[in-house]
Structure formats: C-alpha cells, structure tokens
Amino acid sequence: MEQIAFASIAAFTLACALGVVLAKNTVNGAMCLLLCLAGVAGLFIQLHAYLLAFLLVLVYAGAVVALFLFIIMLLGAHGGQPWRFRAFQAFAGVVAAALLITGLDMISLRGKTDAGPPVAGAGVGSSLKLYADQLFTTYLLPVEVMGFLLLVAMLGVIVLSRRPTEGEATE
C-alpha cells in the first residue's frame, strides 16, 4: 500500500516536473510547478515530515509560485523569445542531475553527516521542537550562511533593477 502510494506520488511529481520544463505556455508551466510542489509535499507527508510538507506548501506553493504567475501575467504569457531545448543544455542537465544524485547517495549511504535529519522515527508531537533544536544547534551555521546568501541576493536584485535613466528603461 505504502509502496503503491509512494510510486504514484513520485511518478506524478516527476511528470509535473517534466511539464514545467516542456510546457509551451508559461502559465501551464507554473501550474505544473505548483502540482509538482504538491507532489513533493505529499512525499514529505509519507515520510511523516508534516512540518516540512506544510512549510513547503505555505512558502513555495502559497507565495513563490503565486509571484511567478504575477510576473508571467505582468510580462504577458507569450512575450519574450520562445525557449528552445538544445543538445548542450540537455547534456548539462543530465550531468547536473547525475552529480546531485551521486552527492545525495554519498551522504545517505556513507553517513557523512553526524546528525541526520531529525525526521525519521520522531513522533509527530515532538517533531516541531526537534526541528527547532536542530536548527539552532547542529545546523546553526548553514542557516546563518543561507540567510546571508539570501540577503546578498536581495541586495543584488535591488542594484540590478535600479534604472539609471529613463531612456535606458527596458521591458
């Protein structure tokens, strides 16, 4: 039963992820991304990581994809150059995916990290506290670094989007 549920949710997620890349219409692509995120949330729920599942829905499905759609609507769904799938990009994508899978495999099989994700085996009631404890002890440095990176990215966006003169305004 669990295997069937996992297989169907995983297949659904992968199909939606392909849809994001291959969709001609950008709105369809964004909706595929939304469904893909819902599928990932479903996988998290199967792992009993309810907090992660709902945070994913709240932040990514509820706000980030909505902003994507907002931008798509402002720019117009048919604006811009149609993106073409080239052999080089496909090759790069395959290499990147292989590297990612190898990395995940190394971490999960060889147990390189000291404290694994505190999800598995933890009771539902205690998971929230466990997450918080881990975030503020074991993973404090990564969290801070990520926060700093996001700050840098935000400053970069502000600098890049500032228009020096009216004549150079680009759509």
Partner 1 sequence: MADFFFGLPVLLQAVLKGIAVIIVIFPVAAACSMAERKVCAWIQGRPGPNRTIFPLFRGIPGMGVLQRLGVFQLVADGLKFLFKEEPTPGHVNKLYYTLAPVIAMVPAFTTVTVVPFGAYLGSAGSVVPLSLANLDIGILAVFAVASLGIYSLILAGWASNSKYPFLGSVRASAQLISYELSMTLAVLPVFLWVNEPGSTGSLSLARVVEFQSRAGFWGGTWFLFTMPVSAFIFAVALFAETNRQPFDMAESEADLVGGFHTEYGAYKWALFFVAEYANMIVGAGVFALLFLGGWNLLPWVPLASLLGWLHHATGSALWLHPLVAGIVSIAIFIAKILATLFVFMWVRWTLPRFRYDQVMRIGWQKLLPLSIANLIVYTVAIALMQR
**In terms of CB distance, is 154 or 167 closer to partner 1?**
154
From the CB of 62, what's the least distance to partner 1, in Å?
Answer: 3
Q: Does 73 bind partner 1 (CB under 8 A)?
A: yes
Residue 165: alpha-carbon gap to chain centroid: 35
For residues 149 and 152, give the distance between their C-alpha atoms in angstroms, rounded to a whole number. 5
- Residues with Cβ < 8 Å from 25, sequence gap 6 or more? 77
Secondary structure class of 56 (helix, strand, coil): helix
The reply on whether position 15 binds partner 1 by CB under 8 A is no
Return the residue of 6, 62, 134, 138 that touches partner 1, per CB under 8 A: 62
Among 117, 119, 127, 139, binds partner 1 (CB under 8 A): 127
C-alpha dist (Å) from residue 99 to 85, 107, 138, 169: 21, 12, 25, 40
- Residue 135 binds partner 1, judged by CB under 8 A: no
Which of 19, 18, 10 lies closest to 38, judged by CA?
10
Q: Quick one: which of 58, 60, 52 has its CA closest to 20?
A: 60
**Binds partner 1 (CB under 8 A): choice among 33, 34, 35, 40:** 34
151: contact with partner 1 by CB under 8 A: no
Of the residues 82, 121, 125, 164, which one makes contact with partner 1 according to CB under 8 A: 125
Q: Which residues bind partner 1 (CB under 8 A)?
A: 27, 34, 50-51, 54-55, 57-58, 61-63, 66-67, 69-70, 73-74, 77, 124-129, 132
